[in-house]
A = this chain, B = another copy of it.
């Protein structure tokens, strides 16, 4: 592993754990097993380092999703694919959504350009929902409400992990893991039930 890759991995870890302000160059250097000066040798400043890390974070995610959306026409099929797929991605990058939310609310300009199109392929899914409603396959619901419902059910339990472990599971990490193992199926069932067409 090159020094540069080494730094990137260390920085990703620290940035995402501490946020931009909380992350210290010294801590990144320690984590990478080098010294501060070398950080500035490879990446002129903390800002530059940050941008490099962040712009790469979502690059694995969006192409896959867009492709799947192009191949799929049925909303239920897409949801059954999307929920475990996105859950899995976020479980592998558990601090990422919280990090994005934090940075967007503290310094929107820093990552707005980066985040705008890379977080979620919104328009395609939106059209799919509109169509499903028009065809009476699901109950009437606004695109945005349904999309936020899905994202909320997936993302919240991961972002709020420390809160949930503390308040709901009394600091019991095993209970939380147990809970998360069943989460994906539960979200699918919750979503599909919630949009079933109403009986007349």
Contact with B along A138-174 (1 / 0, CB 8 A): 0101101101110111011101111110111100000
A81 within 8 A of B: no
A186 within 8 A of B: yes
Asked if A106 contacts B22 (CB within 8 A), the reply is: yes
Asked if A190 contacts B183 (CB within 8 A), the reply is: no
| A195 vs B18: C-alpha distance when bound (angstroms) | 38
CB nearest to A116 among chain B residues: B166
Stoichiometry, copies per complex: 2
User: Cβ of A22: which chain B residues have Cβ within 8 Å of it?
Assistant: 19, 21-22, 106
User: Cβ of A166: which chain B residues have Cβ within 8 Å of it?
Assistant: 104, 108, 112, 115-116
Asked if B144 contacts A148 (CB within 8 A), the reply is: no
Asked if A101 contacts B167 (CB within 8 A), the reply is: no
| A32 vs B190: C-alpha distance when bound (angstroms) | 46
User: Cβ of A102: which chain B residues have Cβ within 8 Å of it?
Assistant: 19, 98, 102
A89 within 8 A of B: no
User: Cβ of A145: which chain B residues have Cβ within 8 Å of it?
Assistant: 179, 182-183, 186, 190
| A139 vs B2: C-alpha distance when bound (angstroms) | 54
Asked if A156 contacts B152 (CB within 8 A), the reply is: yes
A40 within 8 A of B: no
Listed from nearest, the 10 A-B pairs whose CB atoms lie closest are A152-B156, A104-B162, A194-B194, A21-B22, A190-B194, A193-B194, A152-B152, A105-B162, A156-B156, A145-B186
| A12 vs B59: C-alpha distance when bound (angstroms) | 37
| A17 vs B105: C-alpha distance when bound (angstroms) | 8
